[in-house]
Amino acid sequence: MKIGFIGLGIMGKPMAKNLLKAGYALVVNDINQDAVAEVVAAGAQALSTAKDVAAASDVIITMLPNSPHVKEVVLGANGVAEGAKQGSIVVDMSSISPIVSREVSAELEKQGVVMIDAPVSGGEPKAIDGTLAIMVGGPEDAFAKVEPILQKMGASVTLVGEIGSGNITKLANQIMVASNIAGMAEALVLATKADVDPEKVFKAVRGGLAGSTVLDAKAPLALAGNFKPGFRIDLHIKDLQNALDTAQSVDTPTPISQSVIEMMRSLSSDGNGSDDHGGLIQWYEKLAKTEVRS
């Protein structure tokens, strides 16, 4: 089975490399030619357009920044839809609006191409080691065909419902991650301001009910002042905005998401949008006039 991979960014590049390591033949495309060259050096073949990638592939994976990029790459000029054969499967692993996932799927369906949405969670470290959590929406028969491929990139691969369900699950995930990071930041700044060692607070609580994967991943980085992006603040803003838009469409309250997105937007306005989302602690530090990191 020949696989096409479009989008070789922070997440897509290591994901594509893991497919190559698993023995899959891969054709790739991205606007970043340095990223393309790196994946080609690992064994992939580069093609000049998304149309060409689709024409050469049975399964076309896209890993792109947001909804407009997916619509352009899949449905635009020289896009996936122009090259995809009847019976091909498009696996969009981008984190986008579930409404857009359904719109793009409906257009592809007209020409006999099936789409599933399969966004991921875990950031760059888990993309590199192939242990992402992958949330899938789409037909069961299409999922069965691509599940072995997805398993080469993730530690868990779960079909949660029809097309769009994967992205709804990802939005739920992003709400919970943002809430965890905000709670962690608020607590560590409080401890610091009250003259209690925040590192000792982290060690004391991580084994109790407050412990979490988010806490274990982000607290040490926040304590060290290391905000090198595993998942950028600007990307989390995008996900939370998609969550807010989706929530509005189904009349669901989202007060926590609304609060956190404003914190993140403030940081982005200050020039910190490329920081890791664990850098949210800087918003609290600025208001408290104190720094957790030494």
Give the residue numbers marked as catalytic: 170
Distance CA 242, CA 99 (A): 10
Looking at residue 270, what DSSP letter applies? I
Q: Which of 10, 58, 51, 14 is nearest to 29 (CA)?
A: 51
* CA torsion, ordered 38, 154, 64, 244, to nearest 10 deg: -150
Strand partners, 135: 158
Q: How far apart are CA 231 and CA 219, in angstroms?
A: 15
CA distance 18 to 14: 6
| Rounded Cα distance, 28 and 15, in Å | 12
Kindly give the pairing relationship between strand 89-92 and strand 114-117.
parallel
